[in-house]
Protein backbone atom coordinates (compact mmCIF):
# COMPACT_ATOMS: atom_id res chain seq x y z
CA UNK A 1 0.00 0.00 0.00
CA UNK A 2 2.76 2.45 0.92
CA UNK A 3 4.71 1.64 -2.26
CA UNK A 4 1.62 2.13 -4.43
CA UNK A 5 0.80 5.42 -2.71
CA UNK A 6 4.36 6.65 -3.13
CA UNK A 7 4.33 5.73 -6.81
CA UNK A 8 1.06 7.59 -7.44
CA UNK A 9 2.31 10.76 -5.77
CA UNK A 10 5.80 10.71 -7.30
CA UNK A 11 4.88 9.63 -10.82
CA UNK A 12 1.32 10.77 -11.43
CA UNK A 13 0.93 13.86 -9.25
CA UNK A 14 4.40 15.42 -8.95
CA UNK A 15 5.82 13.70 -12.09
CA UNK A 16 9.22 13.08 -10.51
CA UNK A 17 11.68 11.36 -12.81
CA UNK A 18 13.07 7.99 -11.68
CA UNK A 19 16.52 7.97 -10.10
CA UNK A 20 18.02 6.10 -13.06
CA UNK A 21 16.95 7.21 -16.54
CA UNK A 22 17.88 4.02 -18.34
CA UNK A 23 17.21 2.78 -21.83
CA UNK A 24 17.39 -0.99 -21.65
CA UNK A 25 15.64 -3.06 -24.29
CA UNK A 26 16.42 -6.44 -22.76
CA UNK A 27 19.11 -9.06 -22.29
CA UNK A 28 21.19 -9.60 -25.42
CA UNK A 29 20.85 -13.39 -25.42
CA UNK A 30 19.54 -16.10 -23.15
CA UNK A 31 23.04 -17.38 -22.41
CA UNK A 32 23.84 -14.10 -20.70
CA UNK A 33 21.66 -15.13 -17.77
CA UNK A 34 24.56 -17.39 -16.79
CA UNK A 35 26.62 -14.24 -16.33
CA UNK A 36 23.90 -12.73 -14.14
CA UNK A 37 24.02 -15.91 -12.06
CA UNK A 38 27.77 -15.41 -11.76
CA UNK A 39 27.19 -11.83 -10.61
CA UNK A 40 24.77 -13.15 -8.01
CA UNK A 41 27.30 -15.66 -6.70
CA UNK A 42 30.08 -13.08 -6.52
CA UNK A 43 27.71 -10.65 -4.82
CA UNK A 44 26.88 -13.33 -2.26
CA UNK A 45 30.58 -13.62 -1.42
CA UNK A 46 30.79 -9.86 -0.91
CA UNK A 47 27.62 -9.90 1.22
CA UNK A 48 29.04 -12.69 3.38
CA UNK A 49 32.26 -10.75 3.83
CA UNK A 50 30.33 -7.61 4.79
CA UNK A 51 28.15 -9.42 7.34
CA UNK A 52 31.01 -11.31 8.99
CA UNK A 53 33.25 -8.23 9.05
CA UNK A 54 30.54 -6.03 10.56
CA UNK A 55 29.66 -8.55 13.26
CA UNK A 56 33.32 -9.05 14.14
CA UNK A 57 33.96 -5.31 14.19
CA UNK A 58 31.00 -4.69 16.48
CA UNK A 59 32.26 -7.31 18.93
CA UNK A 60 35.74 -5.81 19.02
CA UNK A 61 34.41 -2.25 19.29
CA UNK A 62 32.50 -3.17 22.45
CA UNK A 63 35.70 -4.48 24.02
CA UNK A 64 37.65 -1.25 23.49
CA UNK A 65 38.22 0.58 26.79
CA UNK A 66 36.94 3.91 25.48
CA UNK A 67 34.07 6.13 26.62
CA UNK A 68 30.91 5.82 24.55
CA UNK A 69 31.14 9.40 23.27
CA UNK A 70 34.73 8.97 22.04
CA UNK A 71 34.05 6.13 19.61
CA UNK A 72 31.75 8.09 17.24
CA UNK A 73 34.26 10.95 17.28
CA UNK A 74 37.03 8.60 16.15
CA UNK A 75 34.84 7.17 13.40
CA UNK A 76 33.88 10.67 12.25
CA UNK A 77 37.51 11.74 12.11
CA UNK A 78 38.48 8.72 10.00
CA UNK A 79 35.47 9.25 7.75
CA UNK A 80 36.50 12.86 7.21
CA UNK A 81 40.00 11.81 6.17
CA UNK A 82 38.57 9.34 3.66
CA UNK A 83 36.14 11.95 2.34
CA UNK A 84 38.96 14.38 1.57
CA UNK A 85 40.24 11.91 -1.00
CA UNK A 86 37.03 10.08 -1.95
CA UNK A 87 34.00 12.36 -1.47
CA UNK A 88 31.85 9.80 -3.31
CA UNK A 89 31.68 7.64 -0.18
CA UNK A 90 29.75 10.26 1.79
CA UNK A 91 26.01 9.95 2.29
CA UNK A 92 23.81 7.91 0.02
CA UNK A 93 26.11 8.46 -2.95
CA UNK A 94 23.40 9.24 -5.48
CA UNK A 95 25.77 10.78 -8.01
CA UNK A 96 28.23 7.91 -7.70
CA UNK A 97 25.38 5.45 -8.29
CA UNK A 98 24.35 7.30 -11.43
CA UNK A 99 27.91 7.38 -12.74
CA UNK A 100 28.24 3.64 -12.07
CA UNK A 101 25.56 3.00 -14.71
CA UNK A 102 27.48 5.00 -17.34
CA UNK A 103 30.06 3.15 -19.39
CA UNK A 104 33.53 4.66 -19.01
CA UNK A 105 32.70 6.80 -15.98
CA UNK A 106 34.94 4.68 -13.72
CA UNK A 107 37.80 2.37 -14.52
CA UNK A 108 38.31 -0.90 -12.69
CA UNK A 109 40.87 0.49 -10.22
CA UNK A 110 38.63 3.40 -9.23
CA UNK A 111 35.73 1.04 -8.64
CA UNK A 112 37.87 -1.26 -6.49
CA UNK A 113 39.09 1.65 -4.36
CA UNK A 114 35.58 3.04 -3.89
CA UNK A 115 34.16 -0.37 -2.94
CA UNK A 116 36.88 -1.05 -0.37
CA UNK A 117 36.67 2.46 1.09
CA UNK A 118 32.87 2.42 1.37
CA UNK A 119 32.87 -0.99 3.05
CA UNK A 120 35.58 0.09 5.48
CA UNK A 121 33.98 3.36 6.58
CA UNK A 122 30.51 1.82 6.79
CA UNK A 123 31.69 -0.96 9.09
CA UNK A 124 33.76 1.48 11.16
CA UNK A 125 30.96 4.02 11.59
CA UNK A 126 28.28 1.49 12.51
CA UNK A 127 30.58 -0.38 14.90
CA UNK A 128 31.63 2.83 16.63
CA UNK A 129 28.12 4.05 17.30
CA UNK A 130 26.95 6.05 14.32
CA UNK A 131 23.17 6.22 14.01
CA UNK A 132 21.96 4.62 10.80
CA UNK A 133 21.64 1.36 8.97
CA UNK A 134 23.27 -0.57 6.18
CA UNK A 135 20.68 -0.24 3.42
CA UNK A 136 21.87 2.95 1.72
CA UNK A 137 25.59 2.11 1.95
CA UNK A 138 24.90 -1.33 0.50
CA UNK A 139 23.12 0.18 -2.49
CA UNK A 140 26.25 2.14 -3.36
CA UNK A 141 28.58 -0.78 -2.64
CA UNK A 142 26.41 -3.10 -4.72
CA UNK A 143 26.08 -0.88 -7.76
CA UNK A 144 29.82 -0.21 -7.81
CA UNK A 145 30.47 -3.93 -7.43
CA UNK A 146 28.11 -4.68 -10.31
CA UNK A 147 29.98 -2.24 -12.54
CA UNK A 148 33.25 -3.81 -11.39
CA UNK A 149 31.95 -7.25 -12.39
CA UNK A 150 30.88 -5.96 -15.78
CA UNK A 151 34.36 -4.63 -16.49
CA UNK A 152 35.85 -8.00 -15.52
CA UNK A 153 33.34 -9.95 -17.60
CA UNK A 154 33.73 -7.65 -20.58
CA UNK A 155 37.51 -7.95 -20.43
CA UNK A 156 37.74 -11.69 -19.73
CA UNK A 157 34.96 -13.09 -21.93
CA UNK A 158 34.88 -10.31 -24.54
CA UNK A 159 31.41 -11.27 -25.74
CA UNK A 160 28.38 -9.12 -26.61
CA UNK A 161 26.49 -8.27 -23.42
CA UNK A 162 23.76 -6.01 -22.11
CA UNK A 163 26.11 -3.28 -20.96
CA UNK A 164 27.22 -1.84 -17.65
CA UNK A 165 23.73 -0.69 -16.66
CA UNK A 166 22.26 -4.17 -16.33
CA UNK A 167 25.20 -5.51 -14.34
CA UNK A 168 25.35 -2.46 -12.08
CA UNK A 169 21.69 -2.71 -11.12
CA UNK A 170 21.92 -6.49 -10.73
CA UNK A 171 24.96 -6.13 -8.48
CA UNK A 172 23.29 -3.43 -6.42
CA UNK A 173 20.36 -5.65 -5.51
CA UNK A 174 22.31 -8.90 -5.31
CA UNK A 175 24.57 -7.41 -2.62
CA UNK A 176 21.86 -5.55 -0.71
CA UNK A 177 19.06 -8.12 -0.60
CA UNK A 178 20.80 -10.97 1.29
CA UNK A 179 22.24 -8.61 3.89
CA UNK A 180 18.91 -7.02 4.78
CA UNK A 181 16.95 -10.23 4.12
CA UNK A 182 14.46 -8.71 1.68
CA UNK A 183 14.83 -10.16 -1.83
CA UNK A 184 11.30 -9.34 -2.98
CA UNK A 185 11.59 -5.78 -1.74
CA UNK A 186 14.84 -5.28 -3.62
CA UNK A 187 13.36 -6.66 -6.82
CA UNK A 188 10.50 -4.18 -6.55
CA UNK A 189 12.96 -1.38 -5.82
CA UNK A 190 14.66 -2.06 -9.15
CA UNK A 191 11.38 -1.50 -10.92
CA UNK A 192 10.71 1.60 -8.83
CA UNK A 193 14.12 3.14 -9.54
CA UNK A 194 14.27 2.28 -13.24
CA UNK A 195 10.66 1.52 -14.26
CA UNK A 196 12.14 -1.03 -16.62
CA UNK A 197 10.61 -4.50 -16.57
CA UNK A 198 13.37 -6.20 -18.58
CA UNK A 199 16.06 -4.86 -16.27
CA UNK A 200 14.09 -6.08 -13.25
CA UNK A 201 14.14 -9.62 -14.63
CA UNK A 202 17.91 -9.52 -15.09
CA UNK A 203 18.40 -8.25 -11.54
CA UNK A 204 16.01 -10.87 -10.19
CA UNK A 205 18.22 -13.71 -11.43
CA UNK A 206 21.23 -12.32 -9.56
CA UNK A 207 19.15 -11.67 -6.43
CA UNK A 208 17.82 -15.24 -6.31
CA UNK A 209 21.23 -16.90 -6.42
CA UNK A 210 22.81 -14.39 -4.06
CA UNK A 211 20.14 -14.93 -1.42
CA UNK A 212 20.34 -18.69 -1.84
CA UNK A 213 24.07 -18.78 -1.07
CA UNK A 214 23.88 -16.40 1.91
CA UNK A 215 20.83 -18.13 3.39
CA UNK A 216 22.52 -21.53 3.26
CA UNK A 217 25.75 -20.15 4.71
CA UNK A 218 24.90 -17.66 7.46
CA UNK A 219 21.17 -17.32 7.67
CA UNK A 220 18.53 -15.10 6.20
CA UNK A 221 20.09 -11.71 6.92
CA UNK A 222 22.49 -9.64 8.99
CA UNK A 223 19.71 -9.00 11.48
CA UNK A 224 19.14 -12.74 11.96
CA UNK A 225 22.82 -13.10 12.83
CA UNK A 226 22.59 -10.23 15.31
CA UNK A 227 19.56 -11.81 16.98
CA UNK A 228 21.29 -15.19 17.04
CA UNK A 229 24.19 -13.67 18.98
CA UNK A 230 21.61 -12.71 21.62
CA UNK A 231 20.21 -16.23 21.78
CA UNK A 232 17.22 -15.65 19.49
CA UNK A 233 17.05 -17.96 16.48
CA UNK A 234 14.27 -16.97 14.09
CA UNK A 235 15.05 -20.00 11.93
CA UNK A 236 13.34 -22.12 14.59
CA UNK A 237 10.16 -20.09 14.30
CA UNK A 238 8.87 -16.87 15.77
CA UNK A 239 6.83 -18.74 18.39
CA UNK A 240 9.98 -20.09 20.00
CA UNK A 241 11.60 -16.65 19.87
CA UNK A 242 8.62 -15.18 21.69
CA UNK A 243 8.76 -17.91 24.33
CA UNK A 244 12.49 -17.32 24.83
CA UNK A 245 11.89 -13.62 25.39
CA UNK A 246 9.02 -14.19 27.83
CA UNK A 247 9.76 -14.82 31.52
CA UNK A 248 7.59 -17.17 33.54
CA UNK A 249 6.96 -14.44 36.09
CA UNK A 250 4.89 -12.46 33.61
CA UNK A 251 2.57 -15.43 33.17
CA UNK A 252 1.95 -16.21 36.84
CA UNK A 253 -1.63 -15.67 38.05
CA UNK A 254 -2.61 -15.19 41.66
CA UNK A 255 -6.32 -14.51 41.29
CA UNK A 256 -7.35 -18.16 40.96
CA UNK A 257 -10.04 -19.54 43.34
CA UNK A 258 -8.82 -21.78 46.15
CA UNK A 259 -10.61 -23.98 48.65
CA UNK A 260 -9.72 -26.01 51.69
CA UNK A 261 -10.20 -29.73 51.87
CA UNK A 262 -12.93 -29.30 54.48
CA UNK A 263 -14.86 -26.74 52.40
CA UNK A 264 -18.22 -27.78 50.99
CA UNK A 265 -18.85 -28.16 47.28
CA UNK A 266 -21.64 -25.56 47.50
CA UNK A 267 -19.27 -22.92 48.82
CA UNK A 268 -16.71 -23.75 46.16
CA UNK A 269 -19.34 -23.57 43.44
CA UNK A 270 -20.22 -20.03 44.55
CA UNK A 271 -16.56 -19.03 44.26
CA UNK A 272 -16.33 -20.47 40.76
CA UNK A 273 -19.47 -18.67 39.63
CA UNK A 274 -18.11 -15.34 40.87
CA UNK A 275 -14.72 -15.82 39.22
CA UNK A 276 -13.76 -16.17 35.57
CA UNK A 277 -12.12 -19.50 36.25
CA UNK A 278 -13.44 -22.95 35.45
CA UNK A 279 -11.30 -24.69 38.03
CA UNK A 280 -10.35 -24.28 41.68
CA UNK A 281 -7.29 -25.48 43.53
CA UNK A 282 -7.78 -27.57 46.68
CA UNK A 283 -5.10 -26.83 49.27
CA UNK A 284 -4.30 -27.70 52.86
CA UNK A 285 -3.36 -24.87 55.18
CA UNK A 286 -0.31 -25.01 57.34
CA UNK A 287 3.19 -23.67 57.38
CA UNK A 288 3.32 -24.31 53.65
CA UNK A 289 0.43 -24.42 51.25
CA UNK A 290 0.29 -27.56 49.17
CA UNK A 291 -1.96 -28.15 46.20
CA UNK A 292 -3.76 -31.48 46.42
CA UNK A 293 -5.71 -31.38 43.19
CA UNK A 294 -7.66 -29.14 40.86
CA UNK A 295 -11.43 -29.38 41.02
CA UNK A 296 -13.14 -28.34 37.81
CA UNK A 297 -16.53 -26.67 37.66
CA UNK A 298 -17.97 -29.45 35.49
CA UNK A 299 -17.17 -31.91 38.29
CA UNK A 300 -19.33 -29.87 40.66
CA UNK A 301 -22.09 -29.91 38.04
CA UNK A 302 -21.85 -33.70 37.98
CA UNK A 303 -22.20 -33.74 41.77
CA UNK A 304 -25.34 -31.61 41.47
CA UNK A 305 -26.83 -33.89 38.83
CA UNK A 306 -26.05 -36.97 40.93
CA UNK A 307 -27.68 -35.40 43.99
CA UNK A 308 -30.83 -34.48 42.03
CA UNK A 309 -31.02 -37.97 40.55
CA UNK A 310 -30.67 -39.64 43.96
CA UNK A 311 -33.39 -37.48 45.52
Render pLDDT for 95-123 as a digit per residue (tens, 0 to 9): 898 899 888 899 999 999 999 999 999 99
Dist. CA 225–CA 233, nearest whole Å? 8
Of 208, 191, 182, 175, nearest in space to 51 by CA = 175
Q: Provide the CATH number for the domain formed by 252-310 in this structure.
A: 3.90.1280
Dist. CA 148–CA 127, nearest whole Å? 27
Render pLDDT for 253-297 as a digit per residue (tens, 0 to 9): 777 787 777 777 787 777 777 777 777 777 765 544 444 455 555
Render pLDDT for 149-207 as a digit per residue (tens, 0 to 9): 999 988 888 777 888 889 999 999 999 999 999 999 899 888 877 777 888 888 999 99
Q: At what angle do helices 33-63 and 135-156 cross, to 10 degrees?
A: 140
Task: With 0.85 as the threshold, say if the pTM is over it.
Answer: no
In this prediction, residues 31-49 reach a mean pLDDT of 93
Render pLDDT for 169-181 as a digit per residue (tens, 0 to 9): 999 999 999 999 9
In the chain, domain spans: 14-21+28-237, 252-310
CATH architecture of the domain formed by 14-21+28-237: Orthogonal Bundle (1.10)
Amino acid sequence: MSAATGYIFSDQIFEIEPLFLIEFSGVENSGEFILFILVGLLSACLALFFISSLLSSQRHAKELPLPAFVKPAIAGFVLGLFALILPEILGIGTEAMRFATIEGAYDIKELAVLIIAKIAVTILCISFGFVGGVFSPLLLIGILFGAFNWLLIDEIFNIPNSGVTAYSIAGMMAVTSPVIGAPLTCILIVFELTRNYELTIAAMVAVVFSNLVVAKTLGRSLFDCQLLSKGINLAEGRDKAILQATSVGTLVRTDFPIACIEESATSLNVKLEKSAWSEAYIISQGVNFSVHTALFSHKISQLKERFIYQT
